[in-house]
Amino acid sequence: MGYMRAAMEQYNMVQDGDKIAVGLSGGKDSVAMFAALARMRSFYPVKFELTAIIIDQRFKGEDTDYSTLEVLCKNIEIPLVIKRTNIGKLIFEIRAEKNPCSLCARMRRGELHDAAKAAGCNKLALGHHLDDVAETFMMNLLNGGTIGAFSPVTYLTRKDITVIRPMIFARESDTARVVRREGLPVVKNACPVDDSTERQEVKILLDSLAHKYGDVRSKILGALQQSSTSGF
């Protein structure tokens, strides 16, 4: 919560009366963010409401079991919307994409934006952390020769919704520790290419660089902040 509050205040992410949709994938990052935001409601200086939104891509045509997350939302009294889609079937069966991640992510984001608006939310919180910032930076550099990553706060004019990323100062190891310590439920990703993506390759590359150059992930974030690149 300390990392999140620092990011929320530095980038003015939350205003009084905001209705925030939380993108809840079931992974450790989104679950940790969701639990922290829920707890912060009791003491954060401005008041905000939360709605959890799950986009089920239905890999292999099967509904994903989110019952543990349903129980979590019920216990902390936060409404939950589960939107079932056919993204998995379209990506892996109909189109048989050789490089499915980019299209899948775009489609999932579109569904998430629409569901957030339908739930009456003006903001959408995503669980990207500092490690994601560094990995995205490296992927943009290596693939497209561009400098940058996603922004802490992004207003989407076409959707009229603001995307916030409260966990950009937290590390992936922090979310893993929180989930373990608090006993939070995690739903395994059923994607057929999970753990064999380009992002995973970049993660390994950054780990190898860290052995020689220290905490390269934090250095990348610091460089983005100093140059004001991508809204940092």
Q: Is 90 exceeded by the pLDDT of residue 194?
A: no
Q: Is 70 exceeded by the pLDDT of residue 171?
A: yes
How many Å apart are CA 199 and CA 50, to the nearest integer?
A: 29
The predicted structure's pLDDT at residue 210: 96
- Amino acid residing at 13: M
How many Å apart are CA 84 and CA 74, to the nearest integer?
A: 20
CATH code of 23's domain: 3.40.50.620
Per the structure, how many domains does the chain have? Answer: 1
Chain CA centroid to CA 131, Å: 12
In this prediction, residues 139-164 reach a mean pLDDT of 95
Give me the domain span that covers residue 166.
Answer: 2-231
The predicted structure's pLDDT at residue 197: 81
pLDDT > 70: what percent of the chain? 99
Q: Please report how many Cα atoms fall inside a 13 Å half-sphere around the Cα of residue 84, on the Cβ side.
A: 8
Contact 4, 166 (CB under 8 A): yes
Enumerate residues 6+ apart whose C-beta is below 8 A from 182.
35
**pLDDT class of 196 with cuts at 50, 70, 90:** low
What secondary structure letter does DSSP report for 119?
T
In this prediction, residues 194-207 reach a mean pLDDT of 87
| pTM of the entire predicted model | 0.94
The predicted structure's pLDDT at residue 93: 87
In this prediction, residues 168-193 reach a mean pLDDT of 94
CA angle at 29 for the pair 26 and 34, rounded to the nearest 5°: 75
Q: What's the pLDDT tens digit per position in 99-151? A: 888 889 999 999 999 999 999 999 999 999 999 999 999 999 999 999 999 99
Among 100-114, 157-171, 211-225, the least confident range: 100-114
